């Protein structure tokens, strides 16, 4: 149960109503396409994204989430925290997700279209807006992390932590912006943040 809720929180951490570029379509299930973005492909436990110019090697013991798995987890988690109507306001593509089903640690890559009025803002500004959105759910946000190179690009990073009463978890988010597309890599973990470095080590150009 906690992995479903934290997955929804991770997605909400990337989203705030001001980002929404398409307010009429319900997109908390993975969208089949997002104009301007080419989805990555899994092959032999390696995810390759030509769009991002990166590959990701699945950690030992982790499982690849299908689109159906992602849709189910987001839908159930959204219902638990009463966020279905909130999520319907976004145009979001969940490109990939992988998770350790024992520990509930996970990584996901998400793309979201910016509202036209926000085109041109920096990754740091996106992060602060996204953090404000998650703080509406009771999360706390931390900034001041150094930019990190993933693949051939540098990404801004920040972290949000939420306590749902019976579980507390953190989402380290890495943000970059290209045109009207926000690109986010999100790592969900519990306790020690060593998993962040371990997961990042799986990405390569």
Domain that holds residue 31: 2-204
In total, how many domains does the chain have? Answer: 1
Q: Encoding tokens for residue 125?
A: 């500004």
Q: What is the dihedral angle through the alpha carbons of 114, 119, 125, 128, rounded to the nearest 10 degrees?
A: -20
- H or E element, residue 110: strand 106-113
Q: What is the pLDDT of residues 113-146, one digit of tens each?
A: 887 778 888 999 988 888 877 777 677 889 999 9
Task: Enumerate residues 6+ apart whose C-beta is below 8 A from 16.
Answer: 129, 130, 132, 133
Q: What is the pLDDT of residues 18-64, one digit of tens each?
A: 343 333 333 444 455 677 788 899 999 999 999 999 999 999 999 99
Q: What is the pLDDT of residues 71-98, one digit of tens each?
A: 766 654 444 444 444 444 457 778 888 9
Q: Please report, for the domain that includes residue 76, its CATH number.
A: 3.40.1000.10
Of 32, 105, 42, the closest CA to residue 71 belongs to 32
Q: Encoding tokens for residue 31?
A: 């969208």
pLDDT band at 17 (very low <50, low <70, confident <90, very high): very low
């Amino acid at each position: 149960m906690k992995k479903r809720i934290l997955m929804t929180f991770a997605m909400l951490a990337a989203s705030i109503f001001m980002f929404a570029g398409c307010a009429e379509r319900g997109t908390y299930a993975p969208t089949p396409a997002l104009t301007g973005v080419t989805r990555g492909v899994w092959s032999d436990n390696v995810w390759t994204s030509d769009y991002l110019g990166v590959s990701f090697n699945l950690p030992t013991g982790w499982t690849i989430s299908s689109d159906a798995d992602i849709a189910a987890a987001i839908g159930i988690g959204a219902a638990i925290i009463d966020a279905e109507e909130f999520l319907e306001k976004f145009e979001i593509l969940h490109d990939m997700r992988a998770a350790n089903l024992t520990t509930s640690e996970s990584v996901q890559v998400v793309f979201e279209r910016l509202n036209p009025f926000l085109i041109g803002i920096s990754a740091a500004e996106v992060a602060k807006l996204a953090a404000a959105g998650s703080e509406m759910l009771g999360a706390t946000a931390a900034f001041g992390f150094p930019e990190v190179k993933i693949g051939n690009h540098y990404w801004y990073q920040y972290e949000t932590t939420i306590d749902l009463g019976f579980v507390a978890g953190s989402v380290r988010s890495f943000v970059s912006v290209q045109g009207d597309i926000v690109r986010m890599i999100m790592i969900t973990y519990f306790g020690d943040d060593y998993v962040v470095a371990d997961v990042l080590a799986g990405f390569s150009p």
